[in-house]
Amino acid sequence: MNKEKTLVIVESIQQTVDQMRMDDIEELPESAFEDFQCDCCGNEKILAGSLVYSDYHLCNECVLTAETSFAFNKISTIDDLIKSTKDKRFENVYNSLFENKNNASNPIN
């Protein structure tokens, strides 16, 4: 696949995923302020633009990664992506536990 075609595919997916986020915010403005912990990256992300794949709730950024990976046959199931992000997810969840603990014990934050 040539670079131009690849770029067109990536930009199309990115526009679609961005539009999903904007549509969610338009339909449910509070979704821009509601957080959840992404099952893929492990970060706290806004609900807007997120999707559920099988049993996994992915943030908008991970949806982009998943859809791009599917388009280029880098993964065949969402489980493949979840397995490939296991180490990074663990690190993010681990770090968030200590950040929350430090923030809770510091009333100035």
- Residue 97 carries which side chain, given as an amino acid letter? L
Look at the block and give the residue holding tokens 């509601």: 34
Model confidence, pTM: 0.81
pLDDT confidence of residue 101: 52
pLDDT confidence of residue 90: 80
pLDDT tens across the length of the chain (109 residues): 789 999 999 999 999 999 999 999 999 999 999 999 999 999 999 999 999 999 999 999 999 999 999 999 999 999 999 999 888 888 878 787 777 554 444 444 3
CB-CB contact of 48 with 23 (8 Å): no
pLDDT confidence of residue 87: 81
Domain boundaries, the chain: 3-105
Q: Residues of 10-27 as b/e, b for ≥16 C-beta within 10 angstroms?
A: eeebeeebeebbeebbee
In sequence order, what are the residues at sequence separation of 6 or more whose Cβ sits closer than 8 angstroms to the Cβ of residue 4? none
pLDDT confidence of residue 100: 56
